[in-house]
């Protein structure tokens, strides 16, 4: 199988991709891991990607596509793919389709994990950390015993700028545009499967695996 996991930040793509890849015997490729591996290996594309990342800039499509095509050409990709974080643009999706077609392959299914945005905001803005000892808390899953106070050392809890509501909402806005564009792209191909991303991680895994039951 060749699968893509799609969804906004906070839906749990990374966690579910690893679980599915392990259970289905697929190679899990995340864009971030791919960038780091290529940079560590010193490939030409890896060096170019590192230049952009070091400058805090987005890696251009041509570099990202080149790196992905290099990766899926390696022998361990023959067993099947679970793509997490790629594609992010329509040109990336088109390049992936063309590359797979040359091999006589295609993307079999795109699993689109969907969670109400109010819940995503709560998930993404719920993290706080102790300014003294660094202990991590989450207002939903691991709240402190006393509001704003670390259970471990009594230090004050603070929130990173990345976890604050304004930043989270801006991040969701940015990701929504390309996520919806890709959902439309693969929907027209008849490959998109919407998955309810609410509930426990086990519930979500079961729904994802159910959607793959008829994929050969």
- Has 160 been annotated as catalytic? yes
Beta bridge partners of 127: 138
What SS3 state is found at 24? helix
Contact 114/197 with Cβ under 8 angstroms? yes
Tokens of 116: 């109400």
CB neighbours (10 Å) of residue 182?
Answer: 21
The catalytically annotated residue of 2, 48, 127, 207 is 127
CB neighbours (10 Å) of residue 27?
Answer: 17
The catalytically annotated residue of 23, 47, 79, 160 is 160
The catalytically annotated residue of 2, 88, 123, 207 is 88
- Has 13 been annotated as catalytic? yes
Contact 3/109 with Cβ under 8 angstroms? yes
- Has 171 been annotated as catalytic? yes
The catalytically annotated residue of 18, 36, 171, 191 is 171
The catalytically annotated residue of 2, 13, 48, 207 is 13
CB neighbours (10 Å) of residue 204?
Answer: 21
Closest CA to 195 of 1, 16, 2, 31: 16
Give the residue numbers marked as catalytic. Answer: 13, 88, 127, 160, 171
């Amino acid at each position: 199988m060749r699968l893509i996991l799609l969804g906004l930040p906070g839906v749990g793509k990374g966690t579910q991709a690893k679980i599915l890849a392990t259970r289905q015997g697929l190679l899990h490729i995340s864009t971030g891991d791919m960038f780091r591996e290529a940079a560590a290996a010193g490939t030409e594309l890896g060096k170019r990607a590192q230049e952009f990342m070091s400058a805090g800039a987005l890696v251009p499509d041509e570099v990202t596509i080149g790196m992905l095509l290099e990766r899926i050409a390696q022998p361990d990709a023959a067993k099947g793919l679970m793509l997490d974080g790629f594609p992010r643009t329509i040109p990336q999706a088109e390049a992936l389709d063309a590359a797979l077609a040359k091999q006589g392959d295609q993307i079999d299914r795109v699993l689109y994990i969907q969670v109400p945005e109010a819940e995503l905001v709560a998930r993404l803005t719920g993290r706080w950390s102790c300014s003294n000892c660094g202990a991590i808390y989450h207002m939903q899953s691991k709240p402190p015993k006393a509001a704003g106070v670390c259970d471990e050392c009594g230090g004050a809890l603070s929130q990173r700028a990345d976890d604050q509501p304004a930043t989270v909402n801006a991040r969701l806005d940015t990701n929504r545009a390309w996520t919806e564009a890709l959902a439309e792209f693969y929907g027209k191909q008849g490959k998109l499967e919407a998955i309810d991303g609410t509930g426990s991680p086990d519930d979500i895994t079961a729904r994802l695996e159910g959607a793959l039951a008829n994929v050969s």
